[in-house]
Copies of this chain bind each other. A is one copy, B any other.
Amino acid sequence: MRGVRILIIGFGNVGQAFYELLNTKRDLLSFDITIGEIIDRSRGYIINPGPDILKDVAKGRLIGRKVDIDEIPRLITESNADIVCEFTDLNVKSRGEPAFTYLSTAIRSGKHVITTNKGPIAFHYDELMELSRKYNRLVRFKGTVMAGTPSFNILKLLPGAHVEYFMGILNGTTNFILSRMYEEGLSFNEALKLAQQLGYAEADPSLDIDSIDAALKVVILSRVIGWGHRFENVEVEGIRDIDIRRYGDKVIKLVAYADKGKAYVKPTPLDKNDVLAHVSRNLNALRFKLDTLSELLIIGPGAGKFETAQAVLTDLVDIVNSIRLS
C-alpha cells in the first residue's frame, strides 16, 4: 500500500497536537503517513507542510495562501488525500455547519473522514452513515465523546453485549466546578471563575454549564448504540447557580443518561457508595449497563489537546487497518 495521505481542516489546538503526536509516534505505526495539506482560516492553505510548521504556526501569521471559506469544499474535492481530518470548532446554532459540509464533501469525493467535532455527528448522524454506505467510505469520530478515553468504541471489545442503558459524567468543566465546590467550599460562581482561569471553561461557559455539550455527547452515544434520540429530545438541565448544600449527604454530579426510551443530562444526587460520586477533577466517566457484564465503568480524561489527538490516532489506525484488509 502506498503511504496514506491526510488533509487537515482546522489547525488549532487539536490539529497541532495531532500533528505533533503523529510525528512522535510515527515509528510505532505499521504504515507510512503524510500530512499533505492543511486548511485553516487564519493560517491559510498549506501544501506539504515542513518540519517547522508548528513553530511557524506559533508565530500566529498566515503561512499558506489565504483561504476563503466558500472555496474549502472545492479544495476538499480536488485534494488527493485518502483521509480528511476535520478539526473545526463546534457550532450548535448552525447545527454542525460548515463541518457537515466539509465531511460530506470529503466522502462524496472518495475520502474517509475523521472528526473531533460533535456538531456534524450529533446533528447529521443518519446522513453521514448513509453517505458512508453509499460511497463506501469510513466515518470515525472517537474524539467527540471523552477525547481519546475509550467510550462508545469499547463496545467493539464486547461483541454480542446488549446495552440496557448508559450513565456518566460527560463534561469535564462542570465536573471540575462541582468537585471544587465540594472540596473547597467554593460557590458556583467562584468555582466557575477558577475553571475559566485554568482554561477549563470558556469565557462564555454556556455550552458546558447549560449541559449542551453533554447533551450532544448523549446523542452521539445513543446513535452509535442504535437508539434514535435527537438533540431536541434530550431533557437538559444545567448547573448554573447550583447550591450543592440542598442535597445533604448525597453528591451532586451532572449525570448524562440514556436508555432506548429516554435521554437526559441533569444534576443528579448520587450515593457516596456509587463510584461515580468519586470521579473528581475534570475527569469524565461512562457506565454501561450490559446484559453480559452487568456494569462496566470507564474513567479518564474527556478533553485536552493531546488526549483528543490520541482519539484521532485511534481513528486513523482503525481506518488504515480497515482499508488494508478490505
Known pairs A157-B314, A293-B310; list 12 more (Cβ under 8 Å): A148-B293, A150-B296, A159-B314, A160-B310, A277-B278, A292-B309, A292-B313, A294-B300, A294-B301, A295-B299, A298-B299, A299-B299
Report the copy number of this chain in the oligomer: 2
A160:B29 contact, CB within 8 angstroms: yes
Q: A residues within 8 Å of B by Cβ?
A: 21, 25, 28-29, 147-150, 153-154, 156-161, 273, 275, 277-280, 292-301, 306-307, 309-310, 313-314, 317, 325-326
B278:A292 contact, CB within 8 angstroms: no
- In the assembled complex, the CB of A85 is this many whole angstroms from the nearest CB of chain B, namely 15
Known: A21-B160, A292-B306, A292-B307. A300 touches B299 (CB 8 A): no
A296:B296 contact, CB within 8 angstroms: no
Set B21, B275, B310: member contacting A275, Cβ < 8 A? B275
B residues less than 8 Å from A279 (CB atoms):
275
B residues less than 8 Å from A294 (CB atoms):
300-301, 307
In the complex, A325→B326 CA distance in Å?
7
A159:B28 contact, CB within 8 angstroms: yes
- In the assembled complex, the CB of A2 is this many whole angstroms from the nearest CB of chain B, namely 20
- In the assembled complex, the CB of A207 is this many whole angstroms from the nearest CB of chain B, namely 23
Known: A273-B280, A297-B300. A154 touches B158 (CB 8 A): no
B residues less than 8 Å from A153 (CB atoms):
157
Q: Which residue of B lies closest to A320 (CB)?
A: B159
B residues less than 8 Å from A161 (CB atoms):
148, 310
Known: A297-B300, A301-B293, A310-B292. A157 touches B159 (CB 8 A): no
B160:A150 contact, CB within 8 angstroms: no
Set B275, B296, B310: member contacting A158, Cβ < 8 A? B310
B159:A150 contact, CB within 8 angstroms: no
A299:B275 contact, CB within 8 angstroms: yes
> Which one of A147, A156, A160, A300 has the highest number of Cβ atoms from chain B below 10 Å of its Cβ?
A160
In the complex, A115→B154 CA distance in Å?
21
22 residue pairs A–B, Cβ–Cβ below 8 Å: A21-B292, A29-B160, A149-B293, A150-B150, A150-B157, A157-B314, A158-B310, A159-B317, A273-B280, A275-B279, A275-B280, A275-B299, A292-B310, A293-B310, A294-B300, A295-B300, A296-B299, A297-B298, A297-B300, A298-B298, A298-B299, A325-B325
- In the assembled complex, the CB of A151 is this many whole angstroms from the nearest CB of chain B, namely 10
Q: Which residue of B lies closest to A157 (CB)?
A: B150
B residues less than 8 Å from A28 (CB atoms):
159-160
B313:A160 contact, CB within 8 angstroms: yes
Set B156, B293, B313: member contacting A307, Cβ < 8 A? B293
Set B296, B309, B314, B317: member contacting A149, Cβ < 8 A? B296
- In the assembled complex, the CB of A147 is this many whole angstroms from the nearest CB of chain B, namely 8
A158:B314 contact, CB within 8 angstroms: yes
In the complex, A25→B300 CA distance in Å?
30
B residues less than 8 Å from A310 (CB atoms):
158, 160-161, 292-293
In the complex, A309→B160 CA distance in Å?
11
B residues less than 8 Å from A299 (CB atoms):
275, 295-299
> Which one of A161, A292, A310 has the highest number of Cβ atoms from chain B below 10 Å of its Cβ?
A292
